[in-house]
Amino acid sequence: MIESLLAQLKAGAFDSLSRAESVTDIEGLRVRILGKKGELTEILKGLASVAPNDRPRLGQLANQLKDEISSVLNQKLVLFQAQESQNKLRSEGVDIHLPPIRRLIGRRHPIQLVLQDVVAIFSRMGFSVKEGPDVETEYYNFEALNIPADHPAREMHDTFYLENSLLLRTHTSPVQIRTMETQSPPIKIIVPGNVYRCDLDVTHSPMFHQVEGLYVDSTVTFSQLKGTLVYFLKEFFGQSRKVRFRPSYFPFTEPSTEVDVECGRCNGEGCQSCKQTGWLEILGAGMVNRKVVLSAGYDPDQVTGFAFGIGIERLAMLRYNISDIRLLYENDLRFLGQF
């Protein structure tokens, strides 16, 4: 009697299981068949009226059936759970090719990119950063730098004048004097800053940027100046680029030199951008003139030094292949977005 009930239950259960379609169906079946008040429990209540020696066998039979059904229930459950979670994720999807939500990108101005690089290279060599005023006096901009009132070099520095014989500095060199006046050697500084000349064309801007360098100590040599500048130029332009030192003249240095780097466009063969010379003029430098050392209040017999000045716009134009300096100050975003 119980055996046939169990067989009936089994057939019915498997039939229902085969028609189950969801996690909900499976959970319903588990309660209906195996739950506390389920069909199997109901059948097992009948065991009480069965002969005692038949009970173990029938009990075992019922347990087997229970295991069998729950195993199938579990299998189906896992299956439906997986299916349903997949369906849910699928329904959440979007078109991944829609435009992303984007904000503007911030970038540095190319002049600042170059300035930062230059400052970083010299910082690695122990130069400290100093700054000075854009509005200067004739004394700091000229006289203290061995450019007295009637010196021809004043004409080369097309100067903007303000009221009260103030002027806009034509180079960052005044900071040499200002620093030497307030500190004692050793001094090893670089001075980035704005400088001004009344000049405007494709390579000249009325305001531009310079980095001045100054190293003053008891025995600074021209040889160290060369070593320092060669290191800088190779770091900036690349190790394979040749560097050339030419004797030159500046009122505030002696000996003076102008430093060229091999043209990168033609590898020194000569092309339009280097005016067929194979070289690009990069910076001016020299040993600090004894008169300058003196006007800074040091004893020129005890102290020597070197100084150099680098035009940042020129470096930026060379690095980024910019032929008109005015682009740098127009701030067209189509230009600035390229750096």
Partner 1 sequence: MKFPFSWLADFVDMADIEPEQLAKKLISAGFEVEEIISTGVNLSNIITGRIESLEKHPNADRLQITQIFDGVTTRQIVTGARNVSVGDVVPVSLPGAVLASGLKIKPSVLRGVESNGMLCSKTELGIDELSDGIWILHPSTPLGLNFVDYAQLKDSVFDVSILPNRGDCQSMLGLAREISVLLGRPLRQPEMDYLVDPEFKLTSGPTQLIVDTQNQCPVYLARSVGNIFPAPTPLWMERRLSKCGIRSHNIIVDITNYVLLELGQPLHAFDADKWEGDVIRVGSSPANITFQTLDQETRAILPGAPIVSDRNGVVSLAGVMGGFGTSVDSGTRNIILESAYFTPVDVRRSRNHVGLRTESSIRFERGVDPLGVQIGADRALHLLQTLTNASVSSMSLQVETQLYSTLLPAPILMVPQKINQLLGTTYPHEMQINVLKSLGFSVNSLGDTWEIVPPSWRCHDVKDWPCLAEEVARIIGLDGIPNEFSGPMIIQEKATRLSIIRAAVETFLINQGFQEIQTYTMISPDDLLLSQRPVEKKSLMIQNPLSVAESTMRSELLASILKTAAFNIKRQISNLRLFEVGKVFFTHPDGTVCEHIMSGALVTGDQLLSPYTIDQKEWAKYTFSHLNGLMRELLDQLDIVDFQLKSTNNPLFHPTLSADLWFGDIIVGTVGFVHPDGVKGYDIRQSIGYIEFNLTLLASLPTRNKMFSPFGRFPSIRRDLAFLAPKTLGFDAIQGEIKSRLPAEVMDFYLFDLFESDSIGANHKSVGFAFIYQHSERTLLDDEVNEIHAKFVDDLRSHLPVSIR
Contacts with partner 1 in 149-178 (CB under 8 A)?
Answer: 150, 152-153, 156, 160-164, 166, 168
290 binds, among Zn ion, partner 1, none (CB under 5 to 8 A by kind): partner 1
3-state secondary structure 172-199: CCHHHHHHHHHCCCCEEEEEEEEEECCC
- Position of tokens 């009226």? 49
The least CB distance from residue 221 to partner 1, in Å, is: 3
Asked if 281 is part of the footprint of Zn ion (rule: CB under 5 A), the reply reads no
Q: How far apart are CA 176 and CA 141, in angstroms?
A: 10
The least CB distance from residue 276 to Zn ion, in Å, is: 8
Task: Give the one residue of 15, 201, 299, 332 binding partner 1; rule: CB under 8 A.
Answer: 332
- What number of CA atoms fall less than 13 Å from residue 187's CA on the CB side? 29
The least CB distance from residue 86 to partner 1, in Å, is: 28
247 binds, among Zn ion, partner 1, none (CB under 5 to 8 A by kind): partner 1
271 binds, among Zn ion, partner 1, none (CB under 5 to 8 A by kind): Zn ion
Asked if 96 is part of the footprint of partner 1 (rule: CB under 8 A), the reply reads no
Task: Give the one residue of 242, 244, 265, 319 binding Zn ion; rule: CB under 5 A.
Answer: 265
Q: Which of residues 195-224 bind partner 1 (CB under 8 A)?
A: 198, 200, 206-207, 215, 217, 219-224
* Torsion region of 196: left, alpha or beta (phi above 0 gives left; psi -120 to 50 gives alpha): beta
Amino acid identity of residue 23, one-letter, is: V
Record the tokens describing residue 174, joined without a space.
């005044």
Query: Among all residues, whose Cβ is closest to Zn ion?
Result: 263
Cα separation values, 85 from 23, 25, 77, 89, 318, Å: 11, 16, 12, 6, 59
Residue 165 class from Cβ within 10 Å (0-12 exposed, 13-18 middle, 19+ buried)? Answer: exposed
Contact region with partner 1 (CB under 8 A), list: 35-43, 81-89, 121-129, 169-177: 121-129
Q: How far apart are CA 217 and CA 127, in angstroms?
A: 13
Task: Give the one residue of 144, 147, 274, 303 binding Zn ion; rule: CB under 5 A.
Answer: 274
Which residues lie across from 161 on neighbouring strands? 167
- Position of tokens 């005016």? 275
- Please, which residue, 138 or 258, has the CB nearer to partner 1? 258
- Please, which residue, 245 or 320, has the CB nearer to partner 1? 245
